[in-house]
Chains A and B, each alone.
Chain A
Amino acid sequence: MDRLLLILATLAFVGGLVHAVISLRAGTWKENRWHWVPMAVGLVFQTAFLYLRGQQHGRCPLTNLFEVFIFIGWCIVLLYFLVGATYRLSLLGVFTAPMIALLQALALVSSLDKSVPPLRGPPNPWLEIHAAISLMAYAAFALACITGVMYLVQARLLKEHRIHSLFYQLPPIHELAKAIQRLAILGTLLLSAGLAASIPLHIPVSNPKLIFAWIVWGLYLAINVIMWARMLSARQTAWLAVVGFVVPLVSVWMVTKAS
């Protein structure tokens, strides 16, 4: 049942993407509710999946890499609704949908969904908060990465004088640059909160999960400083947001594989 919900969520994201791409190619893409409806439907199915898994485990459904991927996907869609509306980046959905669809499709076809033994005692709330907030931070970094891609596409179209349908639909580069910066700050703040929540857990400093989390935190702190001090060009900053996301992505993979 839970996998069916996930398949339906993936189909919703793919459906939304296909519709958007067809509209963009036809030059008739317009900002309206029909573009976020598939995203909202996908979010509902994702939420239902996570709820069922949470009920099964009796804790936050982050017991294996499969669930971690789905949880990150859920956070990305959730943040998309907040960020997309705030910065009027409606086309963000078109760029977000393939990432989520791919993430979920890979999770579905892989053998990552391994069952774990049930907890003997009640779950530690600090651990739950630490994991959930940290993954939400990673979702913010993912959105910064997607926004960075949008910036790079728009800047390239402007540079090469390729003024066509996609150019008119993509937001202005100054708005994208602002959104990248704010998402990177949001992610860093969330990750700081996640790391703070790990303090009461008394995790040893040599714990690889914690080391990776601190590396990601340090990287994004550096990225934020570079952005704030405008040490790089706007295009290089966008590249930083895109390439920088590789580190949290790899760290999630390695940490969850190791555990």
Chain B
Amino acid sequence: MSSSRSICLGINYRTTPVELRERLAFAAGKVPQALAEIRNLPGFEESVVISTCNRVELYASHAHGQHEVAHSALLNYLVTHFELTPDQAEALVCYRLAAVETARHLFRVVSGLDSMVLGETEIFGQVKAAYKTALDSGTTGRELNRLFQRAFNVGKMVREKTAIQRGSTSVGAVAVDLAGKMFDLKTCRVMLIGAGEMARVCAQSLLSRGAQSVIVSNRSYERAVELASEFNGTAMTFDQWEHSLHEVDIIISSTSAPHFVVKPEMIEKVMKGRRGHPLFLIDIAVPRDIDPKVNDIEDVYVYDIDQLSAIAEDNRRGRLNELGVCERIIEEQLEKFGRSSALPHTGEAPSFSTP
């Protein structure tokens, strides 16, 4: 492993503020050109560029005697490519990794351990897409092919052998998880009572997972119309929502009323017509909008903001608890990778499968 010529130069959400990160992001269409430019730098042999909203990382293999020289060349490339001012260049804090540290970092990245939301899965697909672009552009070779192929195997292994991606860690995503355990989301209809920001986020999450339609009711009808148009849904005045309860499967309430807005007798009436279909009520409001007694009604499930937050927090803790196991797997795989890197090259072209 010590003889590896792979390096990584990168910035991420920890090292660099978003203002500078967005300045350094590679547009998808420009990546093949950047890959070729990096590979054509003196002494460079291979290149892969990962550019997401949270990170920009340049992976390369080089024939320079020292990694520092190669790192400086990559940094110069970044500064020149994005035409950074001397002040911006000076403020740029990059991590410079080489050999085993490059592999460890990439293994952690694809496993979601280096992500803002620990264990998130999107990064795996993003790295795969970045590698495929490099592979298609012909800028990868023995070093990076082996490194990335192994990284994908390690990423899969970490996710299969641990609970690092179990459960959601945001309130909106938890609400979607719960709804998914009650309904086929593709047939679900959602009602927003009140148009608060958190309710909007929950509704957005449900729609992104296939929920069919949204009804928005708000004291300010204009705001209801505004939000409904955002979701391509229906707006209604605040005195109407009660009459439409029977049309929906999920109710998200976020009014600023000082008393309960949704009462057991209303829901009991609705449930008679639902013929055994469950009803999911999400209470985002403080003070609460939904009388907790509603949860006692058969086939009705009520979650308030504290309960949703507690689930998200539990999941975050659960993921953190898995961190040690994930790191152990990565270290074991790093050792194996180090041993296999010492083996003679077979000359076979790598296989690549889309996620």
| Chain A residues at the B interface, C-beta cutoff of 8 Å | 26-28, 30, 32, 154, 158-159, 161, 163-165, 167-168, 170, 172-174, 177, 230, 232-237
Among A163, A234, A235, residue most surrounded by chain B Cβ atoms (within 10 Å): A163
Chain A residues contacting B163 (CB-CB under 8 Å) are: 26-28, 165
What B residues does A232 contact at CB under 8 A? Answer: 276
Number of A-B contacts (CB under 8 A): 59
Residue of B167, B180, B299 touching A234 (CB-CB under 8 A)? B299
Q: Could you say which residues of chain B place their CB within 8 Å of the CB of A168?
A: 166-167
Partner of A233, one of B160, B161, B184, B276: B276
Contacts of A30 in B (CB 8 A): 160
Nearest chain A residue, comparing its CB with the CB of B185: A172
Closest B residue to A177 by beta carbon equals B276
> In the complex, what distance in Å separates the CA atom of A9 from the CA atom of B182?
36
Complex A-B, nearest 5 residue pairs according to Cβ-Cβ distance, in ascending order: A230-B275, A27-B163, A233-B298, A234-B276, A172-B181
14 contacts between A and B (CB under 8 A): A28-B161, A159-B295, A161-B307, A163-B167, A173-B181, A173-B182, A174-B183, A230-B275, A233-B276, A233-B298, A233-B299, A234-B277, A234-B299, A235-B299
- Bound Cα distance A22, B318 (Å): 17
Whether B276 and A172, one on each chain, are in contact in the complex, defined by CB atoms closer than 8 angstroms, is no
Q: Within 8 Å CB of B303, what residues of A?
A: 161
For B162, give the chain A residue with the smallest CB separation: A28
Which residues B30-85 have CB closer than 8 A to chain A?
none
A237 to B277, CA, bound (A): 12
B interface residue numbers (CB < 8 A to A): 160-163, 166-167, 174, 178, 180-184, 275-278, 295, 298-299, 301, 303, 307, 311, 314, 318, 322
Partner pick for A27 among B166, B180, B295, CB 8 A cutoff: B166
Which A residues touch B301, using CB under 8 A?
158-159
Query: Which chain B positions have C-beta within 8 A of A230?
Result: 275-276
Query: Which residues of A sit under 8 angstroms from B277, Cβ to Cβ?
Result: 234
Residues of B near A233 (CB, < 8 A) are: 276, 298-299
Q: Which residues of A contact B183 (CB under 8 A)?
A: 172, 174
Q: Which residues of B are found within 8 Å of A165, using beta-carbon distances? A: 163, 166
Residues of A within 8 A of B318 (CB): 27
CB distance from B210 to the nearest CB of A (A): 13
Distance in Å from the Cβ of B233 to the closest Cβ of chain A? 23
| Min CB gap A111→B, angstroms | 45
Residue of A nearest to B297 (CB): A233
Contact between B182 and A163 (Cβ–Cβ < 8 Å)?
A: no
Shortest beta-carbon distance from A165 to chain B in Å: 8
CA A167 – CA B168 in complex, angstroms? 13
CA distance A218 to B261 in the complex (A): 46
Identity of the chain B residue whose Cβ is nearest the Cβ of A233 in the assembled complex: B298
**Neighbouring B residues of A28 by C-beta, 8 Å:** 161-163
Verify B276–A237 contact, CB threshold 8 A.
Answer: yes
Which residue of B has the minimal Cβ distance to A30? B160
CA distance A2 to B202 in the complex (A): 58
Closest to A154 in B: B181
Q: Please measure, in the bound complex, the distance between the C-alpha atom of A170 and the C-alpha atom of B180, giving whole angstroms.
A: 12
